[in-house]
Amino acid sequence: MSDYFRTLALGQNKRARTRNLLIDTAIDVFSDKGIEAASVQEITMIAGLANGTFYNHFKDKEELAGSVSRAIVLEIAKRLAEQMQGLDRGVTRVTVASWAFLRIAVANGNWARVLAYQFQRRPVTNTIVFQYMRADLELAAKQSKLDIEVDDFLLEQLASLMMAALHRQLEQGEQSAVMHRVCESMLRLLGLTPAQAKREVDNAQQHPLVSRVVSD
Amino acid sequence: MSDYFRTLALGQNKRARTRNLLIDTAIDVFSDKGIEAASVQEITMIAGLANGTFYNHFKDKEELAGSVSRAIVLEIAKRLAEQMQGLDRGVTRVTVASWAFLRIAVANGNWARVLAYQFQRRPVTNTIVFQYMRADLELAAKQSKLDIEVDDFLLEQLASLMMAALHRQLEQGEQSAVMHRVCESMLRLLGLTPAQAKREVDNAQQHPLVSRVVSD
Amino acid sequence: MSDYFRTLALGQNKRARTRNLLIDTAIDVFSDKGIEAASVQEITMIAGLANGTFYNHFKDKEELAGSVSRAIVLEIAKRLAEQMQGLDRGVTRVTVASWAFLRIAVANGNWARVLAYQFQRRPVTNTIVFQYMRADLELAAKQSKLDIEVDDFLLEQLASLMMAALHRQLEQGEQSAVMHRVCESMLRLLGLTPAQAKREVDNAQQHPLVSRVVSD
Amino acid sequence: MSDYFRTLALGQNKRARTRNLLIDTAIDVFSDKGIEAASVQEITMIAGLANGTFYNHFKDKEELAGSVSRAIVLEIAKRLAEQMQGLDRGVTRVTVASWAFLRIAVANGNWARVLAYQFQRRPVTNTIVFQYMRADLELAAKQSKLDIEVDDFLLEQLASLMMAALHRQLEQGEQSAVMHRVCESMLRLLGLTPAQAKREVDNAQQHPLVSRVVSD
DNA sequence: GATGAATGAGTATTCATTCAT
DNA sequence: AATGAATGAATACTCATTCAT
């Protein structure tokens, strides 16, 4: 059973610990049977809490689902932000961030599943990660004179490609080939030629965020 | 209220007529509140039928959802097949078919919504339309020496782009700009340069399946 | 699938043939899942008839259940009557009849099951077989000066012993040991000593109705 | 309305009290219309509880039926055990226990009905009462050199005789004659002569468990 | 803050029965 | 006689939510 967020809250007060226990449990249950099919009762039971405790922390399942995805995305964003500080080339940033995002999500199988479920329900493009992505895209567009319009629809298209990659890997296990390919697709979509796209992705693969992940 | 499939069944026996009435009603209800949230009771009530009648025609809601999407996709495929007989250029076929598919789905607002809901639940790439798409892609790859691998994952990526376009138009109404753009994206993803992609889509827009639709 | 009663009705009119088809089918379904759990719809479907046809022949499931058990019991009684004409010793008649009844019922596995189910629902002691049984008991009581009172309660006790034997054999297959034992129990209940009871049953086992059955 | 088990739970926590309220109510409803025909809704309504409360205590009606019969049988067994401590003669124990069991069940009219219904559904011979019975039978067989084989089938035969007596008294009211007679039958079945059986039952009738019951 | 028993609306599903064809 | 589509009452079961302790 996941204990990621519970562990993060170890030093905090009881309220925070119980809340994160619920989030950890929800990640497991959501990823197991989907968000719709999961019931509050099952989550609290598995968490070893009483039924009513849930409502001391969340208004309803919807709020929980939002908190869960936000917590996951925030956690991934935090790791990305730390390591991408040096990069100042937009295209590289986009490529490395996409690949690393997928990698981290899939490495935590349950995170990927929950994000995939949540993406079906509400667009993810307004999450923090995609706000960073938008900045990187604008940087890349300016630097590389890309033939694109950086707007919501572009982000949605890129996001849906990433989700297609998540789905595929949830069925077939983590595969760097899938990530390589979807990153190429994203760059092609941004206007790079197949050859350029391939070269960019090959380079990105060298970045610690990506390569280290591959090896561990 | 939709009456598309009911109308198709006008000449047939009562069983077929009731069945298609249920399908028409389900399209409305599904598109209104989603497939999960829709209840059998609501569908039968709106259809003006008794609760139990549903189960004379479908095992459960899942079977209905499958029948509904299949009926819609088949209907779209039928229209496409008729009009695309003359086209023998792979890239053109892919472009026209994608645009026309989107156009027909969105023109029947409820069809698009149901397909979008169903796509979240099961991959649509094994439906008839995507079997045609695969053939066209193989043709295009050979004729135009595209740098792609025609496999399931390619289809899934293309499908997810189309669904992104559907979603967008469901929120903001039918827009040829959105379709133009997503078709360009698809072609870029197949390896065409932005300029080539734009030219292809501009040409496709002249095809009756696309332009006529725009006008009706 | 059973076709016993259908075959009996081969020469008769269509009404009789359909009716007996329903009876045959009901025997199968009743014996498979019990009378309560069986549904009219399942019976007609398996019979290859339309739903509504049932009600041309029976008022409801209860009437069918009655007809089915009556048909079975009558059929068994007919076979017994033919072969027991020569016997004029009451105790022998009771023993042979009981054993033969059990044997025939169990040999038609489905008959035994249906009788067992029906016995739970209504006392069987007013069926024709038990009317014969009563006569034989009275004969035996007079001839052998048995210390019994031949009344409904005696018949019910004997019937419940026979049903216990049926149940046992339905679980474990036909076993002459079970029949031998339950017949001894019945005779003990009628006041015979264990030794007498054993002797009577040993003799009864020679009777064609019993021994022939054992061999076929 | 029964309140036997509710009363037993008076000192316990609310959960136990509600549970026993459901058991008491179920005894009434089961005995009124049978276990199959009873509905969960009716039971909760009569108990004055909400529909869903049922499922906080029992998985389904089947589990309730099991709990109800177990509670009844356990209660009867408890009373028997207390009062039969002095008896060390197997045949007497069997006779007294059988008679007392029947008497207690019938005195609580609804208990007898529920047991009769449940017996039709699952063999009762593996309940606690019949485990005691088996021990007593083995004792009796050794002490009195009975010509019997103490196994499941013997218990089933004896149980079915007892149920025949229950049925009879449910229709016609409690009658010591019926009990006297079925106890004689049981002893005959164990190999006693009619005269011995009668004497044993006459003696057993003097035992407090039996005679006191008769008087209260 | 946590508990957990109780609630009751909501949903799926079955099935005997009717009746027009 | 048979058909079979339609009915709708009946029932089981789930689950978000409340609230007294």
SS (H, E, C) chain D: CCCHHHHHCCCCCHHHHHHHHHHHHHHHHHHHHCCCCCCHHHHHHHHCCCHHHHHHHCCCHHHHHHHHHHHHHHHHHHHHHHHCCCCCCHHHHHHHHHHHHHHHHHHCHHHHHHHHHHHHHCCCCCCHHHHHHHHHHHHHHHHHCCCCCCCHHHHHHHHHHHHHHHHHHHHHCCCHHHHHHHHHHHHHHCCCCHHHHHHHHHHHCCCHHHHHHHHC
Give mean pLDDT, residues C25-38: 94
Token pair in block for residue C23: 């009876």
H or E stretch at A102:
helix A90-107
Indicate if CB(A53) is under 7 A from strand E: yes
C98 and C162 Cβ atoms separated by less than 8 Å:
yes
- The model's pLDDT over B159-181, given as tens digits with 9 standing for 90+, comes to 999 999 999 998 888 889 999 99
Note the CA–C1' distance, C59 to F2, in angstroms: 16
Element (H, E) at B208: helix B208-215
pLDDT given at position C85 = 87
Give me the CA A58–C1' E15 separation in Å, rounded: 42
pLDDT given for residue A212 in this prediction: 65
pLDDT value of position C174: 82
Once rounded to an integer, what is the mean pLDDT over residues A136-157?
96
Residue D161, amino acid: L
How confident is the model over C71-95, as pLDDT tens digits? Answer: 999 999 999 988 898 899 999 999 9
pLDDT at C212: 65
- In sequence order, the 6+-apart residues with CB closer than 8 A to the CB of D28 are D1, D2, D46, D110
Contact, A9 vs A16, CB < 8 A?
A: yes
Per-residue pLDDT of A65-112, as tens digits, reads 999 999 999 999 999 988 888 899 999 999 999 999 999 999 987 999
Burial class (CB in 10 A: 0-12, 13-18, 19+), B183: buried
Instruction: Tell me the backbone φ, ψ of residue B3, rounded to 5 degrees.
Output: -145, 20
Give yes or no for residue A64 having a pLDDT over 70: yes
Residue nearest to nucleotide E21 (CA to C1'): B14
The interface residues of chain C toward chain D in range 141-200, judged by CB-CB distance below 8 A, are: 147, 153, 156-157, 159-161, 163-164, 167-168, 178, 181-182, 185, 188-189, 191, 193-194
Query: Tokens 């996409």 — which residue?
Result: A98
Q: Where are the alpha helices (DSSP H) in B2-151?
A: 4-8, 14-33, 40-47, 54-57, 61-83, 90-107, 109-121, 128-144
> How far is it, in rounded angstroms, from Cα C42 to Cα C60?
14
For A54, which DSSP code? G
pLDDT reported for residue D181 = 97
Distance (Å) from the alpha carbon of B144 to chain A's nearest alpha carbon = 14
D15 touches strand E (CB under 7 A): yes
- Global pTM? 0.89
What does the pLDDT average to over A169-176?
88
Give B82→chain A minimum CA distance, Å. 30
Under 8 Å between Cβ of B157 and B189? yes
Two structure tokens written together for B57: 């025609």
Question: Which residues have C-beta within 8 Å of that of residue B114, sequence separation ≥ 6?
Answer: B27, B30, B31, B35, B68, B69, B72
Give, as ranges, the nucleotides of chain E with any atom within 7 Å of a protein CB. Answer: 1-20
pLDDT exceeds 50 at position C173: yes
Q: How many CA atoms lie within 13 A of D21 on its CB side?
A: 17
User: What residue of D is the nearest CA neighbor of C187?
Assistant: D189
pLDDT digits (tens, 9 = 90+) for B28-76: 999 999 999 999 999 999 999 999 999 999 999 999 999 999 999 999 9
The shortest CB-CB distance from B156 to any of A147, A153, A168 is to: A168
Across chain B, what does the average pLDDT equal?
92
The alpha carbon of residue A15 is apart from the nearest alpha carbon of chain B, in Å, by: 33
Q: Give the pLDDT confidence score for residue A179 in this predicted structure.
A: 95
The answer to whether D61 touches D23, Cβ cutoff 8 Å, is no
What pLDDT score does D47 carry? Answer: 96
Q: pLDDT for A11-54, tens place per residue?
A: 888 899 999 999 999 999 999 999 999 999 999 999 999 999 99
Task: Name B residues 15-74 whose Cβ lies under 7 Å from strand E.
Answer: 38-42, 51-52, 54-55, 60-61
Closest partner CB to B191 (pick from A153, A191, A194): A194
User: Which runs of consecutive H residues, i.e. helices, occur in chain C?
Assistant: 4-8, 14-33, 40-47, 61-83, 90-107, 109-121, 128-144, 152-172, 176-189, 194-204, 208-215
Count of beta carbons in the 10 Å neighbourhood of residue C52:
9
- Cβ count near B160 (within 10 Å): 22
Res D215: pLDDT: 39
D74 to chain C, closest Cα gap in Å? 24
What's residue B212's pLDDT? Answer: 65
How far, in Å, is the CA of D20 from the C1' of nucleotide F10? 26
In Å, what is the separation between the CA of B49 and the C1' of F9?
15
In this predicted structure, the answer to whether residue B215 has a pLDDT above a threshold of 70 is no
State the nucleotide closest to A60 in CA–C1' terms.
Answer: F16
Say whether pLDDT at A216 is over 50: no
**Which residues of D fall within a CB distance of 8 Å from C185?**
157, 189
- Residue C50 falls in which region: left (phi positive, over 0), alpha (psi -120 to 50) or beta: beta
Which amino acid type is present at position A158?
A: L
With tokens 């081969």, the residue in question is C10
Interface test with A, best of B158, B160, B168, B175 (most A CBs within 10 A): B160
Question: pLDDT tens digits for B67-93?
Answer: 999 999 999 999 998 889 889 999 999
For the cut 90, the answer to whether the pLDDT of residue A177 exceeds it is yes
Asked whether residue A14's C-beta has any atom of DNA/RNA strand E within 7 A, the reply is yes
- Which is higher by pLDDT, A215 or D131? D131
Residue B111 pLDDT greater than 60, yes or no: yes
pLDDT in tens, D23-61: 999 999 999 999 999 999 999 999 999 999 999 999 999
Asked if residue B115 lies in contact with residue B73, where contact means CB atoms within 8 angstroms, the answer is: yes
